[in-house]
A and B are shown apart, each in its own frame.
Chain A
Amino acid sequence: MRLRHAIPLAGATALVSAAASAETITVATVNNNDMVIMQGLTDEFEKAHPDITLDWVVLEENVLRQRMTTDIATQGGQFDVMTIGTYEVPIWAERGWLTPLADLPDDYQVNDLLKPVRDGLSYDGTLYALPFYAESSMTYYNKALFEKAGIEMSDQPTWQEVSDWASRIHDPQNEVYGICLRGKPGWGENMAFVSTLVNTYGGRWFDMDWNPQLDSQAWQDAVSFYVDLLNNYGPPGASSNGFNENLALFSRGNCGMWVDATSAAGKLYNPDESQVADQLGFAPAPIAETPKGSHWLWSWALAIPATSDSKDAAETFITWATSQDYIELVGETKGWTSVPPGTRESTYENENYQQAAPFADFVLNAIREADPTDSTQEPAPYVGVQFVGIPEFQAIGTQVGQMIAAALTGDMSVEQALSSAQRSTERTMKRAGYPK
Chain B
Amino acid sequence: MTTVKTGQVPLAHDSEMARATPRKASMIGVNSRKLWLTVLGWGVAILIFFPIFWMIVTSFKTEAEAIADPSLIFAPTLENYVEVQLRADYFKFAMNSVVVAFGSTLLALLLAIPAAYSMAFLPTKRTKGTLLWMLSTKMLPPVGVLVPIYLLFRDTGLLDTRTGLIIVYTLMNLPIVVWMLYTFFKDLPKDILEAGRMDGASTFQEVWYLLLPLTLPGIASTGLLSVILSWNEAFWSLNLTSSQAAPLTAYIASFSSPEGLFWAKLSAASTMAIAPILVFGWLTQKQMVRGLTFGAVK
Query: Interface on A for B, CB 8 Å cutoff?
Result: 26, 28, 30-33, 36, 39-40, 55-63, 66-67, 70-71, 73-79, 188, 242-244, 247-248, 252, 261, 263, 267, 273
Contacts and interface: CB of A to CB of B under 8 A. Distances in A.
Contact of B154 (A67, A75, A263): A75
B260 A60 contact: no
Top-8 shortest CB links A-B: A58-B254, A60-B256, A31-B257, A55-B243, A32-B259, A248-B67, A78-B242, A57-B242
Interface in B224-248: 238-239, 242-243, 246
Contacts of B258: 30, 32, 60-62, 188, 242-244
A111 B250 CA distance: 38
A74 B242 contact: no
A31 B254 contact: yes
A77 B159 CA distance: 10
A119 B230 CA distance: 45
Given A36-B87, A59-B238, A267-B260, A76 B255 contact: no
Nearest to A264: B259
A326 to B, nearest CB: 19
B46 interface: no
Given A61-B257, A67-B238, A243-B259, 5 more contacts: A59-B253, A73-B147, A76-B150, A188-B258, A273-B261
Interface residues of B, number: 30
A57 B154 contact: no
Contacts of A66: 239
A32 B256 CA distance: 9
B117 interface: no
Contact of A60 (B150, B239, B253): B253
B242 A33 contact: no
B294 interface: no
A24 to B, nearest CB: 9
B278 interface: no
A76 B159 contact: yes
Contacts of B147: 70, 73-74
Given A32-B260, A244-B261, A252-B68, A63 B253 contact: yes
Contacts of A79: 242
B257 A273 contact: no
27 contacts: A26-B243, A33-B260, A56-B88, A56-B243, A58-B254, A59-B238, A59-B253, A59-B254, A60-B253, A60-B256, A60-B257, A60-B258, A70-B239, A73-B147, A74-B147, A74-B151, A76-B159, A78-B159, A79-B242, A242-B258, A243-B258, A244-B258, A247-B260, A248-B67, A248-B261, A263-B259, A273-B64
A273 B262 CA distance: 12
A67 B239 contact: yes
Nearest to A34: B259
Nearest to B244: A55
Nearest to B160: A78
Contacts of A57: 242-243, 246, 254
B256 A31 contact: yes
A39 B243 CA distance: 14
